[in-house]
Amino acid sequence: MTDDVGKKRADYTEGSIFYSIMKMGLPSMFGFLAQHIYSMVDMYWVSRLAQQEAGVAAITFFSNILWLFFSFNQLVGPGSVAIISRRYGEKEYNKAEKAIKETLILKLAFGGLFGLVGFFFVGWMLQLIGAEGEVLALGVDYGRIMFIGMAIMYATYSIFTGMRGVANPNMAMFLMLGSNVLNMVLDPIFIFGYLGLPAWGIKGAAYASVLSYILTLSVGLFLFYGGRTNVRLHLRGKERLSVASMWKIIKIGVPAWLGSMSFSGARLVIMGMVAPFGTAVVAAYGVGNQVTAFGIMLLVGIGLGLSSLIGHNIGASKPDRAKKTADQAILLGAGIMLVFALVTFIFAREIMGLFFDTSSTIALGHLMLKIFAVGFPFIGAFIMIEEIHVGVGLNTPTMIMNIIHSWALETLPIYFLTVPLALGQTTVWWTISAAGVVSTAAFYVYYRRGRWLTVKV
């Protein structure tokens, strides 16, 4: 099949299933891995500032708020994945172009709106979850700049989604790699004031991020409108944009948004329960979250490629191949996270030592990482099952599982253990790890029923 300039389009609904998963998933994995390496490098440079633990704690507090605001990204993201990949699998390329353009419009609108809200209320939100003093001031400085760039961040992720949806995962990977390398280069320059620039401190980390997103979005639009992708964007396409089809994208995403909001909201509440243990515990928890997220990004990258691949197969009327693809992906996800768990468990103390000099903080983080590692393989399976459902536009089961996981299995037990029973932070870490095991087992039982194979979008 060729496009309007005679270019052959990729088709991963034929041949080796494992090869297709790797071809679609590995580029996304490497891209998201680079992105998270940047996040850890960002935290590393901030930890080199004079404020050290206060700076890391500030980013930790703000990251929980940012997760909440990125939940609104889910109003559009899952629907766009399902529709773009399904239309591409059906070889309805003009409709795929329409879906990409509508997604970008929605992301810019939502990102601008929520970025404005975040800019004005970031201080209040940080105080609400326990930030105070120097940590609060640093969090506000960092957060306001990040919120200014939120519309660009939202839209940039849709560039990556669009590229994966039309079977250009390598292009998305190189764009993500370039963006994050640029971010890592700019970070120390802006933070410490190299090359004649002022030393912006923690603000510099935020400036580096926003500038990198702006440049990445610009390059991504150039690639789409310049015909470098399997589906080319035009200023006036053959399919007219419509409010009805935009609403369809949002409607598919609402359950995923509610599930993500639930997860992010629970993380804010848990952050508030961790805060009374002190700045050192909060800082160690922040690094622990970054390490956990590093492993998750490995799987989210593969999972986003997988969700597009599932959509291609369902769109091409190949449910048996879709089922085999899903089964292999779940095993792959659990296996990758098992290896990551072993590495984390063995090198937990060394990992914490990269960020802190204080032996007590390193000891706190060392134990926490070992406990978190127990649940990593189950997180791997959960993410794969979640992305399988995203690929077909069935997001209600994920919403339900996220609510159960976040509130019934994590937040409520942590509250009773740390407030009425007044137990230490170690009970928080064990509760988080155990919740992943239980929720994954329940989600897998549901997945085996196979309802996701019959969904229409």
What is the band of 5 on the pLDDT scale with cuts at 50, 70, 90? Answer: very low
Residue 304 has pLDDT above 80, yes or no: no
Q: Which two tokens stand for residue 316?
A: 């091409």
Mean pLDDT over all residues of the chain? 87
By mean pLDDT, which of 28-32, 103-107, 134-138 is the weakest? 28-32
pLDDT average, residue stretch 346-354: 91
Who has greater pLDDT, 6 or 418? 418
The pLDDT of residue 3 is 47
Q: Which of 213, 36, 39, 63 is CA-nearest to residue 138?
A: 63
Q: What is the DSSP letter of 234?
A: -
101 contact partners, CB below 8 Å, separation of at least 6: 233, 237, 241
Average pLDDT score over residue span 431-435: 94
Total number of residues shown for the chain: 457
SS (H, E, C) 171-223: HHHHHHHHHHHHHHHHHHHHHHCCCCCCCCCHHHHHHHHHHHHHHHHHHHHHH
DSSP state of 156: H
DSSP 320: H
Question: What is the pLDDT at residue 52?
Answer: 63
Query: Which residue reads 């800019």 in tokens?
Result: 119
Specify the pTM.
0.72
pLDDT band at 39 (very low <50, low <70, confident <90, very high): confident
User: How far is 84 from 71, CA to CA, in rounded Å?
Assistant: 20
Q: Quick check: 7 pLDDT over 60?
A: no
Q: Does residue 302 sit in helix, strand or coil?
A: helix
The helix/strand/coil state of 373 is: helix
